[in-house]
């Protein structure tokens, strides 16, 4: 965990640290928050995590957030447990619920009230496992216009004349 300096500013989206005179995040183009605000947010998140019960009762409203093999779902369950987010595994209705009958897939279920936090944890895990956290996604929604003088590859960001059906840099087919 990094040290948060109350005299600096922070991006509420990407968590980057900035000098005190900066006003907007260069990457996210959002207003920065003060170090004091960042510390308050970190304290609130810590208190929420510590106060969360790992117990699941029959009164809790549950939601399916992922479906997969027992191995994959147990790994995700472990990630959630680190953040004190209770979860359980459930099978398809009418199946044994142990992941062994037909298909072997289970649902990862969480309390609806923990949904936002659980999805944040799983998104961070996905970004880390796929290396998307260190990949420039600014061109991911690019559209190749074969009639344009210049196009940008959505995979690698390479600019080129769009006369070919593949990116000359990474080989992506259009």
Model pTM?
Answer: 0.58
CA dist 23 and 31 (Å) reads: 6
pLDDT value of position 90: 92
pLDDT-wise least confident of 18-27, 44-53, 142-151: 142-151
Sequence ranges of the domains in the chain: 9-51, 62-134, 136-174
Q: Which CATH superfamily is domain 62-134 in?
A: Hypothetical protein rpa1041 (3.30.70.1530)
Containing 78, the helix (H) or strand (E) segment is: helix 70-82
pLDDT digits (tens, 9 = 90+) for 44-67: 988 888 888 889 999 999 999 999
Q: Which residue has the higher pLDDT, 119 or 152?
A: 119
Mean pLDDT calculated for residue range 2-24: 91
Is the pLDDT at 77 greater than 70? The verdict is: yes
If you average pLDDT over every residue of the chain, what do you get? Answer: 84
pLDDT value of position 144: 67
Find out whether 115 and 62 touch, Cβ atoms under 8 Å: no
């Amino acid at each position: 965990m990094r040290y948060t300096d109350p005299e600096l500013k922070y991006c509420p989206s990407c968590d980057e640290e900035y000098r005190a005179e900066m006003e907007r995040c260069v990457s996210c183009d959002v207003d920065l928050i003060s170090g004091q605000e960042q510390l308050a947010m970190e304290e609130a998140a810590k208190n929420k995590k510590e106060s969360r019960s790992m117990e699941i009762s029959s009164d809790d409203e549950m939601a399916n957030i992922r479906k997969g093999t027992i191995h994959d779902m147990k790994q995700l369950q472990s990630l959630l447990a680190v953040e004190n987010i209770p979860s359980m595994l459930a099978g398809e209705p009418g199946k044994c619920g142990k992941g062994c009958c037909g298909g072997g897939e289970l649902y990862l279920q969480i309390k609806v009230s923990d949904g936002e936090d659980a999805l944040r944890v799983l998104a961070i895990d996905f970004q880390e496992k796929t290396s998307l956290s260190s990949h420039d996604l600014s061109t991911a929604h690019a559209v190749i216009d074969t009639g344009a003088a210049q196009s940008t590859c959505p995979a690698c960001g390479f600019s080129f004349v769009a006369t070919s059906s593949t990116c000359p840099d990474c080989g992506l087919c259009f």
